[in-house]
Amino acid sequence: MSDNTEIAILNEIKSGEINLRELFDKNLALCDRAVGAGDKVMDEIAKNGGVMTEELDIICNTYLVNARKAAEIINSGRIPITRKFTVITKLFTELESKLSYDVKGTVPFQIKMKRFEFAEAEKKRKAELANEKQKEIDQARERIEIKGDAELKLYNEFTRILARNKQSLSNLITNMTLDCVDLNIELIATFEELYAKEIHDRIAIQVSPRHISQEEADKILDVTRSAKYPFYKEEYSREIGALKTEMSDKVNGRVDFLTELEEADAAKKEEMEAIEKEHKEKEKERIAEEAAAKKLAKETDIQTQKAAEGAKTLFDIDMNSAETESKAVSRSVIEIEVLSPSGYYPLFQLFMEQEGMKQTVEQLSKKSFKSLIVFAQNHAKDTGEILESPYLVYNAKQKVSIKK
């Protein structure tokens, strides 16, 4: 159909040449008459008890022929109109298509594709940034882990050496006999109070890094080893010096005990030797328990230090990588991992100090453990305050999305 024909159809509708109401009313009247005639045929059949006869069959055939003709008349009046409306539908559909962003080749489609290209590029760029940031986070965490593990290894070995030498020093008293008093006094006085750097440097620490180079990992070990030696040296000197003073003060008491033991009868000697044996065992246990307590305290301290350094490093990375976006949305979130039920205690304490005391009992009764974590996460994000607990780990994560 030509453009002129389409314009002509639109002009017909505009000028009112197509009277749809008149045409419909005419066809409705024809349809009603045909249906009414059919009802009369059905009445005739009903009067005959519903039984067909030859005469009734002729009447039915005549009705069906006339009904078909009436339908053809209605159809002949409809077809030209519906054809014209098909053309009109086509015209409007073509207009709509030109503005559809789902039809390939249209201007809206091209603009939509540009947006999609931009969104995909932003998504890719953000993913690359997130990967780079995650790489930086992984490296920072590994540096902290290597440093903390090295400190723990060095301290554990230090406490082992210290406990062994304290036991040796203690043995100079507990194993003293009357014939070597002077020698043991001299050995106590000259007992080495220096934690030799050669021993400290020989402590083996092996590490196989995954995110940083072996060279950087070895440098962290060397720096940590050098930084910790002065502290261990001071602690060793203090501990050994204090024990030497204690042992020197016990010399006279030990000599008196040995003299009494030598002069005692068999029964008394047996009793005193039993006491002596018990004393030696208790002294040995005391030194071992003291070393174990120090080791545990150091482990807890290092874990807390790891968590604090890790959180601070992640915050620093987060701040350094912050940037302003137009249509792309990138946000950082703090997530807290609870390692033990004991971790909920500092979370609860923080919440009560900052917010809980202002709420009613009814409001507090609705709080969950999850809400304590969320509160602490938001508090850390807003204030930078980190709870120092070996049972909590703060993680900074990057979430990226694209506005549509």
Count: domains in the chain = 3
- 321-327: long-range pairs with CB below 8 Å, 24+: 321/129, 321/133, 321/136, 321/398, 327/118, 327/122, 327/402, 327/403
pLDDT digits (tens, 9 = 90+) for 65-84: 999 998 988 888 777 777 77
Average pLDDT of the chain, as a whole number: 80
Residue 33 in tokens: 């008459």
**Nearest 10 degrees: Cα torsion 283, 288, 290, 296:** -170
Instruction: State the average pLDDT over residues 258-283.
Output: 69
For tokens 């917010």, name the residue: 355
Note whether 359 and 264 are same-domain residues.
no
185 class by beta-carbon count within 10 Å (0-12 exposed, 13-18 middle, 19+ buried) = middle
Using the predicted structure, report yes or no on whether residue 23 has a pLDDT greater than 80.
no
HEC string of 337-390?
EECCHHHHHHHHHHHHHHCHHHCCHHHHHCCCHHHHHHHHHHHHHHHCCCCCCC
pLDDT digits (tens, 9 = 90+) for 110-122: 888 888 888 888 8
The shares of helix, strand and coil residues in the chain, as percent rounded to the nearest 5, are 80, 5, 15
Using the 3D structure, point to which of 296, 320, 344 is the last residue of a domain. 320
Q: Does the residue 113 lie in any domain?
A: no
Q: Give the separation between CA 193 and CA 235, rounded to whole angstroms.
A: 10
Using the 3D structure, point to which of 277, 292, 320 is the last residue of a domain. 320
Q: Does the residue 47 lie in any domain?
A: yes
Q: Does the residue 111 lie in any domain?
A: no
Q: Does the residue 115 lie in any domain?
A: no
Residue 39, CB-side half-sphere exposure with 13 Å CA sphere: 6
Note whether 251 and 194 are same-domain residues.
yes
State the first-to-last Cα distance of the chain, in angstroms, to the nearest integer: 41
Does the global pTM surpass 0.85? Answer: no
Q: Is the dihedral of CA 26, 31, 34, 36 positive or negative?
A: negative
Note whether 190 and 259 are same-domain residues.
yes
Note whether 174 and 235 are same-domain residues.
yes
Q: Does the residue 34 lie in any domain?
A: yes
Q: Give the separation between CA 396 and CA 332, rounded to whole angstroms.
A: 7
Q: Give the separation between CA 228 and CA 205, rounded to whole angstroms.
A: 14
Note whether 199 and 237 are same-domain residues.
yes
Paired sense of beta strands 328-338 and 392-402, if any:
antiparallel
Question: Residue 401: its pLDDT value, please?
Answer: 44
Residue 129 in tokens: 């940034």
DSSP 402: E
What is the secondary structure of 49-61 as a DSSP string?
Answer: TT---HHHHHHHH
Using the predicted structure, report yes or no on whether residue 8 has a pLDDT greater than 80.
no
Using the predicted structure, report yes or no on whether residue 324 has a pLDDT greater than 60.
no
Residue 351 in tokens: 């919440």
Using the 3D structure, point to which of 65, 98, 131 is the last residue of a domain. 98
pLDDT digits (tens, 9 = 90+) for 114-151: 888 888 888 889 888 888 888 888 888 888 888 888 88
What H or E segment, with its residue span, contains residue 304?
helix 266-320
Q: Does the residue 103 lie in any domain?
A: no
Question: Residue 43: its pLDDT value, please?
Answer: 93
Note whether 286 and 377 are same-domain residues.
no
Question: Residue 65: its pLDDT value, please?
Answer: 92
Note whether 271 and 350 are same-domain residues.
no
Q: Does the residue 131 lie in any domain?
A: no
CA distances from 126 to 115, 121, 317, 319 (A): 16, 8, 16, 16
Question: Residue 403: its pLDDT value, please?
Answer: 46
Note whether 151 and 282 are same-domain residues.
yes
Note whether 51 and 155 are same-domain residues.
no
Domain containing 72 equals 3-98
Q: Does the residue 132 lie in any domain?
A: no
Question: Residue 319: its pLDDT value, please?
Answer: 59
Least confident of 188-202, 210-224, 257-271: 257-271
| Percentage of the chain modeled with pLDDT above 70 | 79
pLDDT digits (tens, 9 = 90+) for 202-213: 988 888 999 999
Q: Give the separation between CA 347 and CA 370, rounded to whole angstroms.
A: 10
Question: Residue 404: its pLDDT value, please?
Answer: 45
Note whether 33 and 62 are same-domain residues.
yes
Note whether 41 and 8 are same-domain residues.
yes
Nearest by Cα to 78 from 15, 26, 12: 26
Note whether 173 and 266 are same-domain residues.
yes
| More confident position, 123 or 278 | 123
